[in-house]
C-alpha cells in the first residue's frame, strides 16, 4: 500500500473528552496496556506477593526462647529446627498422605473421566459434567461435615457393616497399627477417605480433557494390529492420558499438602504440615518456624510443577 | 469407518464410573437426609424419625443470620473487585502481546495454586506488620485476591474467541473506545463475566482457610460452620445450615454452567 492510501484512511480526531481519550489510547497501545494491567498487577504484587515475601523473609529470623520475641537477625537456626526429628516426621507424614491420596484419586477418577470422554453422549455428557462440577464446587466444610456423619460410630458406615454382618472386618481394620484407631473418625483411614473425597473431583476434568484429545482411530488401529484391550490401554491410551493425570495430581497433591482443617476434624492427634503451621503461628507464636514450614510445600510444589512441565502436563489443563 | 464397538462401554468400566459418581454424591444426599432427623444428640443412622421443626429453629437463630449476612456482603464486594481486576487483566493478556505475559498468568493463578494456609498466614503477618486491624475489609481483601483467577480464567477463554476485527470494525465506523466496549465487547463477554462472577461468589461464600487468618471477631458462615465442626453444640441447626449452604452453592454453579455452555455462538468467532 502506498502512503496515499494510508493517508486517506486517517479520519479527523474524535470530538469530546471520551473521544480524545480513546484516540490517545488507540495510538499509544502501551498506555492502554498499562491502564489495563496496572490495577490487577499492583493489587496482586503489593498485597499478595508483598505478604508472601515478607513471610518467607521471616523464616530466616529466629525466636528468642526466653522472651518469645522475634530476633531480627539473619540465621538458619529456624531451618535447623525444621529438620529436627519431630518436625521432619510431620513433613514425611504429610508427603506420604498426599502421595497416597493422589494415587487413589487417580484410580477412582480415571474410569469416570474415561467414560465421560469416550462413551457419554448428549444428555449423559451433561449429566457427567454436572455430576463432577457440583461436588467439586459445593461447600468444602459441608463435604467434611457429611463425612463426619458417615464416619461417626453410630453413623451409616457402621450401620451398613452391621447389616452385612461384616462388622468384624471393620473392627479388624481398626485394630491394625498406624492406619487404625478407636473409630474411623479418629484414624488415618478416616482422614484419607475425606481427603480423597474432597480433592478427587479436581482429578477428573484434566484426565477427561486429555482423553478427549486421543483420536478414536488410534485405539482402533491398536486393536486392528492385534493388541488386546489390556495392551491397548497399557501402550496407547495410558501414555496419552498421563499428562492429564499429572495435571490433576498437581491439584490433589498440593491441596492435600496444605490442608489443616480435614486432619483437625477427622483424624488422629498427629499433626500434618498445615496443622503445624497453624499451631506455630497461633498458640506457639513462633512465626519464623511457621514461615519455615510454609516453605516446605512451596519447595515441593515447585519441584513438582517443574517435573509436570517437563512431562507436558500444562497442555492438559 | 468407525466400528460400532466404541458406542457401548465395557461393563466393568460402567460400574467403576457409576460407582465413582455415587461415591461423590451419596455424602451430599446424606446431608439432605440429616436436616430432617429428630435425633439431636448424635449422628445416628438411620434417623429415628423425620421432622421439619429444625428449619423453624434455625430460622429464628440470630447468630446464623448474622453469619449469613456477613458472608453475602463479603462475597458481593470481593466478587465486584475480582470482576474489575480479572477482566482488566484478561483483556490485557489476550488482546495484546507483551513481554512477561506468562508471568502475569502465573501471578494471577498463584493465590489459588499455593495452599490456602500460605496465602492466609502471609496476609495475616503482613497485616499485623503494617498495623492494620483485622476487620470486614481485611476479609474482603483476602477473598478478592484469590477470586481474581476465576474471573480471569472465564474472561480469557471468552476473549480468545472474540475476534479482534470486530473491535477494529467498530472503531472504523466511528465509535470511540468506550462505545466499542459498551456495545461490542461487553455483549460478547457478558455471559462469561457473569459466569466468572458467580463462581467467584461461590468461592468466596465458601472460603474458610484464608478467612480464619484475615478475620477478626467477625464470623462468616463457613467460620460458624467450622466452630460447629470442632465443637458440635447444636447438631440439628448445623444439619439445616449445611443443607442450605449446599443449595445456595448449587445455584451459581448451575447458572454458570448454563451461561457458558453456549459459548461457541459468539459473534465473529473463528475469524
> Is B113 a residue whose pLDDT tops 80?
no
> Is B214 a residue whose pLDDT tops 60?
yes
Task: Indicate which CATH number applies to the domain containing B77.
Answer: 1.10.3720.10
In a domain, B3, yes or no: no
What pLDDT does residue B197 have? 87
In a domain, A310, yes or no: yes
What pLDDT does residue A192 have? 92
* Residue the block writes with cell 493425570: A245
Cell of B105: 498468568
Distance between CA B210 and CA B256 in Å, rounded?
24
What pLDDT does residue B270 have? 40
Domain end, chosen from A43, A58, A73, is at: A58
Distance between CA A217 and CA A27 in Å, rounded?
50
- Structurally, chain B folds into a number of domains equal to 1
In a domain, B140, yes or no: yes
Query: Alpha carbon of A269 to those of A151, A185, A266, A276, B226: distances in Å?
Result: 17, 11, 10, 11, 18
Distance between CA A231 and CA A253 in Å, rounded?
29
Distance between CA A217 and CA A309 in Å, rounded?
28
For residues B157-170, give the mean pLDDT: 78
In a domain, A67, yes or no: no
Name residues 296-315 of chain A within 8 A of B (Cβ).
Answer: 297-298, 301
Q: Do A52 and A177 have their domain in common?
A: no
Q: Do A147 and A193 form a contact (C-beta atoms < 8 A)?
A: yes
Omega of the bond leading into A86 within 30 degrees of 0 (cis): no
Cell of B103: 508471568
In a domain, B47, yes or no: no
In a domain, A79, yes or no: no
Distinct helix (H) and strand (E) counts, chain B: 12, 0
DSSP code, position A266 = S
> DSSP string covering A29-79, please?
HHHHHHHHHHHHHHIIIIIIIHHHHHHHHHTTSEE-TTT--EE-S--SHHH
Cell of B247: 443449595
Q: Do A131 and A50 have their domain in common?
A: no
In chain A, what percentage of residues exceed pLDDT 70?
A: 93
Distance between CA A219 and CA A250 in Å, rounded?
27
In a domain, B4, yes or no: no
In a domain, A64, yes or no: no
Residue from A168, A177, A144 nearest A265 by CA = A144
B65 at A interface, C-beta within 8 A: no
Number of Cβ within 10 Å of residue B204's Cβ equals 29
pLDDT tier, B239 (very low <50, low <70, confident <90, very high otherwise): confident
For residues A145-152, give the mean pLDDT: 88
DSSP code, position B6 = G
Global pTM reads 0.83
**Mean pLDDT, chain B, integer:** 81
> Is A100 a residue whose pLDDT tops 90?
yes
DSSP code, position A315 = G
A282 at B interface, C-beta within 8 A: no
The closest CB to that of B114, out of A33, A290, A298, belongs to: A298
Residues of A in contact with B250 (CB under 8 A): 134, 138
> Which has the higher per-residue pLDDT, B134 or A262?
A262
Distance between CA A97 and CA A119 in Å, rounded?
33
What pLDDT does residue A12 have? 65
Looking at the complex, report in whole angstroms how far the Cα of residue B266 sits from the nearest Cα belonging to chain A.
Answer: 21
A221 at B interface, C-beta within 8 A: no
Number of Cβ within 10 Å of residue B130's Cβ equals 10
Distance between CA A109 and CA A200 in Å, rounded?
7
Residues of B in contact with A297 (CB under 8 A): 114-115, 118
> Which has the higher per-residue pLDDT, A16 or B76?
B76
For residues B119-130, give the mean pLDDT: 83
Residue from B221, B212, B229, B214 nearest B248 by CA = B221
Distance between CA B196 and CA B82 in Å, rounded?
9
Candidate from A113-117, A242-246, B40-44, B118-122 with smallest mean pLDDT: B40-44
Q: Do A274 and A256 form a contact (C-beta atoms < 8 A)?
A: no
In a domain, B174, yes or no: yes
Name residues 139-178 of chain A within 8 A of B (Cβ).
Answer: 139-150, 152, 154-156, 159
Distance between CA A252 and CA A98 in Å, rounded?
7
In a domain, A144, yes or no: yes
In a domain, B51, yes or no: no
Looking at the complex, report in whole angstroms how far the Cα of residue A281 sits from the nearest Cα belonging to chain B.
Answer: 8
Q: Do A139 and B222 form a contact (C-beta atoms < 8 A)?
A: yes
Q: What is the dihedral of CA B30, A271, A51, B199, to 10 degrees?
A: -10
Give the E-state strand segments of A252-317 in sequence order.
none
Domain that holds residue B217: 58-261
B22 at A interface, C-beta within 8 A: no
Residues of A in contact with B124 (CB under 8 A): 281
CB contact under 8 A, A297 and B118: yes
Cell of B252: 451459581
> Which has the higher per-residue pLDDT, B253 or A159?
A159
In a domain, A69, yes or no: no
Q: Do A120 and A254 have their domain in common?
A: yes
Q: Do A41 and A137 have their domain in common?
A: no
In a domain, A189, yes or no: yes
Task: Indicate which CATH number applies to the domain containing A147.
Answer: 1.10.3720.10
Candidate from A303-307, B39-43, B125-129, B261-265 with smallest mean pLDDT: B261-265
> Is A1 a residue whose pLDDT tops 50?
no
Q: Do A42 and A98 have their domain in common?
A: no
ipTM of the complex: 0.81
Query: Alpha carbon of B207 to those of B139, B140, B142: distances in Å?
Result: 10, 11, 10
A189-199 residue pLDDT tens = 889 999 999 99
CB contact under 8 A, B114 and A11: no
Q: Do A109 and A43 have their domain in common?
A: no
Q: Do A180 and A263 have their domain in common?
A: yes
In a domain, B268, yes or no: no
Q: Do B237 and B61 form a contact (C-beta atoms < 8 A)?
A: yes
Q: Do A18 and A126 have their domain in common?
A: no
In a domain, A74, yes or no: no
Q: Do A184 and A144 have their domain in common?
A: yes
Q: Do A161 and A22 have their domain in common?
A: no
Domain that holds residue A254: 84-316
A220-278 residue pLDDT tens = 888 888 888 888 888 888 888 888 888 888 888 888 888 888 998 888 888 888 888 88
A271-304 residue pLDDT tens = 888 888 888 887 777 888 888 888 888 888 888 8
Q: Do A250 and A137 have their domain in common?
A: yes
Cell of A308: 509436570
What pLDDT does residue B93 have? 80
CB contact under 8 A, A135 and B24: yes
Distance between CA A317 and CA B8 in Å, rounded?
28
Q: Do A49 and A101 have their domain in common?
A: no
- Structurally, chain A folds into a number of domains equal to 2
Cell of B124: 495475616
In a domain, B270, yes or no: no
Residue B239 in 3-state DSSP? helix
B72 at A interface, C-beta within 8 A: no
For residues A137-157, give the mean pLDDT: 87
Query: Alpha carbon of B223 to those of A140, B58, B67, B70: distances in Å?
Result: 12, 17, 8, 11
Residues of A in contact with B37 (CB under 8 A): none
What pLDDT does residue A2 have? 46
In chain B, what percentage of residues exceed pLDDT 70?
A: 92
* Residue the block writes with cell 482443617: A261
A159-217 residue pLDDT tens = 888 888 888 888 888 888 878 777 888 888 889 999 999 999 888 988 888 888 888 88
Span between the terminal Cα atoms of chain A, in Å: 43
Cell of B267: 459473534
A63 phi, psi to nearest 5 deg: -110, 140
What pLDDT does residue B271 have? 36
Cell of B196: 466468572
The secondary structure element, H or E, covering residue B103 is helix B101-113
Q: Do A209 and A129 form a contact (C-beta atoms < 8 A)?
A: no
Amino acid at each position: 500500500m502506498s502512503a496515499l492510501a494510508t493517508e486517506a484512511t486517517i479520519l479527523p480526531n474524535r470530538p469530546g473528552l471520551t473521544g480524545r481519550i480513546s484516540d490517545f489510547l488507540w495510538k499509544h497501545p502501551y498506555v492502554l496496556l498499562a491502564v489495563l494491567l496496572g490495577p490487577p498487577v499492583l493489587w496482586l504484587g503489593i498485597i499478595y506477593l508483598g505478604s508472601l515475601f515478607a513471610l518467607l523473609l521471616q523464616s530466616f529470623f529466629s525466636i528468642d526462647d526466653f522472651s518469645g520475641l522475634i530476633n531480627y537477625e539473619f540465621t538458619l537456626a529456624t531451618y535447623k529446627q525444621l529438620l529436627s526429628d519431630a518436625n521432619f516426621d510431620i513433613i514425611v507424614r504429610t508427603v506420604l498422605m498426599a502421595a497416597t491420596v493422589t494415587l487413589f484419586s487417580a484410580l477412582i477418577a480415571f474410569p469416570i473421566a474415561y467414560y465421560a470422554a469416550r462413551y457419554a453422549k448428549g444428555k449423559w455428557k451433561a449429566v457427567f459434567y454436572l455430576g463432577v462440577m457440583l461436588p467439586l464446587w459445593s461447600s468444602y466444610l459441608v463435604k467434611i461435615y457429611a463425612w463426619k456423619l458417615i464416619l461417626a460410630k453410630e453413623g451409616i458406615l457402621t450401620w451398613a457393616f452391621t447389616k452385612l454382618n461384616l462388622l468384624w472386618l471393620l473392627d479388624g481394620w481398626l485394630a491394625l497399627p498406624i492406619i487404625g484407631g478407636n473409630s474411623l473418625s479418629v484414624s488415618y483411614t478416616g482422614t484419607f477417605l475425606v481427603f480423597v473425597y474432597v480433592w478427587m473431583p479436581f482429578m477428573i476434568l484434566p484426565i477427561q480433557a486429555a482423553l478427549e484429545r486421543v483420536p478414536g482411530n488410534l485405539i482402533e488401529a491398536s486393536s486392528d494390529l492385534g493388541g488386546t484391550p489390556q495392551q491397548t490401554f497399557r501402550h496407547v491410551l495410558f501414555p496419552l492420558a498421563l499428562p492429564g493425570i499429572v495435571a490433576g495430581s498437581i491439584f490433589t497433591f498440593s491441596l492435600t499438602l496444605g490442608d489443616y482443617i480435614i486432619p483437625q476434624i477427622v483424624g488422629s492427634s498427629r499433626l500434618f504440615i498445615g496443622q503445624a503451621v497453624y499451631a506455630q503461628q497461633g498458640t506457639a507464636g513462633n512465626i519464623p518456624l511457621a514461615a519455615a514450614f510454609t516453605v516446605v510445600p512451596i519447595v515441593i510444589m515447585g519441584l513438582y510443577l517443574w517435573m509436570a512441565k517437563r512431562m507436558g502436563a500444562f497442555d492438559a489443563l | 469407518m468407525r466400528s460400532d464397538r466404541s458406542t457401548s462401554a465395557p461393563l466393568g468400566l460402567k460400574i467403576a464410573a457409576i460407582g465413582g459418581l455415587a461415591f461423590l454424591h451419596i455424602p451430599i444426599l446424606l446431608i439432605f437426609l440429616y436436616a430432617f432427623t429428630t435425633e439431636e444428640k448424635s449422628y445416628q443412622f438411620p434417623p429415628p424419625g423425620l421432622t421439619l421443626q429444625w428449619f423453624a429453629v434455625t430460622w429464628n437463630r440470630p447468630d446464623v443470620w448474622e453469619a449469613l449476612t456477613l458472608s453475602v456482603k463479603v462475597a458481593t464486594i470481593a466478587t465486584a473487585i475480582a470482576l474489575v481486576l480479572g477482566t482488566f487483566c484478561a483483556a490485557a493478556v489476550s488482546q495484546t502481546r507483551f513481554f512477561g505475559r506468562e508471568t502475569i498468568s502465573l501471578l494471577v493463578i498463584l493465590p489459588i495454586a499455593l495452599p490456602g494456609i500460605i496465602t492466609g498466614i502471609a496476609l495475616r503477618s503482613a497485616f499485623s506488620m503494617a498495623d492494620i486491624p483485622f476487620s470486614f475489609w481485611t476479609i474482603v481483601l483476602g477473598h478478592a485476591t484469590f477470586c481474581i483467577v476465576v474471573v480471569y480464567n472465564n474472561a480469557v477463554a471468552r476473549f480468545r474467541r472474540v475476534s479482534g476485527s470486530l473491535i477494529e470494525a467498530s472503531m472504523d465506523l466511528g465509535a470511540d473506545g468506550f462505545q466499542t466496549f459498551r456495545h461490542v465487547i461487553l455483549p460478547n463477554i457478558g455471559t462469561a463475566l457473569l459466569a466468572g462472577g458467580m463462581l467467584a461468589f461461590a468461592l468466596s461464600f465458601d472460603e474458610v482457610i484464608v478467612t480464619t487468618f484475615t478475620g477478626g471477631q467477625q464470623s462468616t458462615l463457613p467460620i460458624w460452620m467450622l466452630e460447629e465442626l470442632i465443637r458440635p453444640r447444636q447438631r440439628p441447626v448445623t444439619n439445616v445450615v449445611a443443607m442450605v449452604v449446599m443449595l445456595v452453592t448449587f445455584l451459581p454453579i448451575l447458572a454458570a454452567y448454563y451461561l457458558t455452555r453456549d459459548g461457541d455462538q459468539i459473534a465473529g468467532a473463528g475469524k
